[in-house]
Structure 1
């Protein structure tokens, strides 16, 4: 399944599912771009637009907290409570032969973060998001499936620690984040339903207003500050690093609108904890994308490219955690001297990658839909090869990560070690994601480079 699924095979199974609820056959089936985990297919039935959301493979669902039946039930409850969630029409049946998923009525608007950020009146959209999040947090547990998990904070950190070890346990910045989480667990509060992925990329907007809240696969009960913090992470602000609230405005305005809509009074300390927690969580989530590709559960090219976004989260983690460092350590200015290989004679790996990338540009206009998106992903992958082959990235031994986790060393207070991590993070993100907005901020902050 996954990107090897043909539209013809998909149509046969989809029509079987649609017939079960008396709907017309699917027409104009089109794979939508994007989606870090699930697939989305847009189609019309009886002239009305719908979207099929499904897993790339049945194996992919093995590690999920719950199935698509539970996700669909959560969306139905949210829709009934006035949240701008889509209307679920049907869930797939194993006999349909096209895996696990469900069909929704399509909503207006675009999910493209850059298009959304370019819209007028971002403050109005920020207010809409605050209102809908307050409604989600107010959903009654009685009307929701029993299978929705409740996040125990300590258990959540322990799971992240286990994922870190499974991925090799050799990245000191992530180890630093894990150690901070273990040392700063907040006291539990009354859990509410969390959307779990409330951010740009998972919403629809049109004319500067919210039209849809999508992708509920990570819903769980927990601290409402987790939902508030996740969408405000640097990675989800895209080009608007300067707007800390979802790339749309100020945290003060966001929190005020959320509280006015019935949300809890925001605690800045808890907000910071969950910002750091979710940054570590997404760093490890990126690493796991490579695992999905290696074990064959999803061989999409996008998986291996997303795995290289781990370094973005490491950069963000350092900027969050160094707030606790002594002033003299934060004031150190890094001197970045990247050791580059000199090339002569035959083409290097990097030059070959760049040449293929340039050729792919020549066929871009011949591609449409998801194929065009995958071409862009392929060029990104080749760019990573080209950039990394031209430099020796600084490394720190796994022994040091073990010492960080055990508390034997504290990089925040160890003279010079934070400085070393600055260099390492900038080198790595420069190879993996040179256009990541936070990189320019970090360079200016840590090196004085403008």
Structure 2
């Protein structure tokens, strides 16, 4: 839970609620999810509420703004007709329970699996386009100071520095960084961006949008960035056939947004931000390994999320390959070269498989967060076992440097085919159930 005891949390929360004219909390329960930020559900005067908090100011150290600014952004969005929560109270230092704010709970679910099972996806897509248009229409003068504005070249330079800090040896990320530098658009009049507008942060109730959550990445920037973020392959979840939020086509999303906002969407700008955000998330995944190694956060999820970098590398290649010459796009992908099964004593992969099989026998005894960690552990062991059976090498510093500096490109004979092979093999080892893997395999090799 962080600093303090459950009693301390209840007492500090009661002080904050008292300032809003509400009684002490009842039934305080921590919600699942959130590696750094915590969410707690409770009732006050018979009404469901949620506390969003960081246990201490250390958790907020690298964030561009604190919870006071975040809460005011949410309040402003709520007043503007966005399905944002109603903020009831801010935590204060004297409350002694960290940084955060209290919201009135909203109905619905944020679970993408449940949402995507609904039978009104285009209705929900239209609702999302409406709320995104309302976010972008909020006047800067109505918002608190301290919200950052994205500088396009500086943002690309920051990605490049993060790439260097992560080892600078990933050819597909280098390819994306080079493309971003060569295709950076001129700035447009900035609008408020939610910054994380996608399934997982949207609540749905009875097939309609009921909430827009998680505003910590809000900033001023190009409205196309918010649109593009929800169209990333990773946020489609199981519905890779629906590129916009997993709910519909990009054309349907854009048409609904244009009607609501009165803005004209530029396909070239949308493509730029789609590639930018794919590189951004690839580096975000990689960074999780660095956080774990530093000892700052030794949660098992960190090391597993770091291996999801291969999802974004494959997605990047699917986005960029159309710019390769036709002869390179048509070139046959080299066959996969499996390593021979070892003789003698058990290999590391076999040991990992044996442990995973044993973990499955104790699954019935697991509950709550332990059961979730059990699943993460089995996924990690599967990565080890599968990774031992492939020659796919995602790290190649000389090739990455050549791509980053423009000395090689997708026009280089045979390079695209080899990158495709590497992307397929690495993702098959890391996240074999990633939906875009099957699509890429069918497209590049004809396998189903």
Which bin holds the TM-score, normalised by the shorter protein? Answer: over 0.9
- Write out per-residue CA displacement over residues 274-328 of structure 1, whole angstroms, 9 at most, x where no aligned residue: 0000000111111112222222333322222111111100000000001111111
Mapped partners of 2:395, 2:360: distance in 1: 37
- Write the mapping of 1:326-405 to structure 2, written as runs, cut at 5 A: 326-405=325-404
**Deviation sequence 1:216-238 (CA, Å, 0-9, x none):** 11101111000000001100000
**Residue number in structure 2 paired with 1:165:** 164
Give 1:382 deviation, angstroms: 2.1
Structure 2 match to 1:322? 321
CA contact (8 A) 2:171 2:394 kept: no
Q: Is the 8 A contact 1:284 1:310 kept in 2?
A: yes
Contact 1:57 1:298 in 2 (8 A): no
Counterpart position of 2:432: 434
CA distance in structure 1 between the aligned counterparts of 2:73 and 2:399, rounded to whole angstroms? 43
Runs of 4+ in 1 over 6 A off after TM superposition: none
Aligned to 1:420: 418
Deviation at 1:89, TM superposition (A): 1.9
How far residue 436 of structure 1 moved from its aligned partner, in angstroms, is 0.4
Residues 3-152 of structure 1 aligned to structure 2 (within 5 Å): 7=6, 10-35=9-34, 38-55=37-54, 58-152=57-151
Q: Is the 8 Å Cα contact of residues 334 and 417 (structure 2) preserved in structure 1?
A: no
- Relative to 1, partners in 2 of residues 1:232 and 1:314: Cα closer, same or farther, differing over 3 Å? same
SS in 2 for 1:261: helix
Shift in Å, 1:420: 1.0
User: CA offset at residue 441 of structure 1?
Assistant: 0.7
1:32–1:369 contact (8 Å) kept in structure 2: no
* Structure 2 spans left out of the alignment, 5+ residues: none
Say if 2:204 is the partner of 1:205.
Answer: yes
Name the counterpart of 2:260.
Answer: 261
Deviation of 1:166 (Å): 1.0
Does the CA contact (< 8 Å) of 2:29 and 2:42 recur in 1? yes
Determine the structure 2 residue equivalent to 1:444. 442
Aligned equivalents of 1:125 and 1:402: distance in 2?
43
Aligned to 1:282: 281
Contact 2:196–2:226 at 8 Å: present in 1 too?
Answer: yes
Q: Distance in 1 between matches of 2:4 and 2:392?
A: 38
Please list the CA deviations of residues 203-261 of structure 1 after superposition, one character each: whole Å capped at 9, or x if unmatched. 00011110000001110111100000000110000000001111101112111111111
Cα distance between partner residues in 2 of 1:9 and 1:430: 47
Q: Secondary structure at the match of 2:211?
A: strand
Q: Which structure 1 residue ranges, 5 or more long, are not aligned?
A: none
Q: CA distance change for structure 1 residues 12 and 354 in 2, over 3 Å: closer, same or farther?
A: farther
Question: Please, what TM-score do these two structures have when normalized by structure 1?
Answer: 0.94
Indicate how the Cα distance of structure 1 residues 337 and 5 shifts in structure 2: closer, same or farther if over 3 A, else same.
farther
**Structure 1 residues 120-129 or 392-401, which shifts more?**
392-401
Deviation at 1:332, TM superposition (A): 1.7
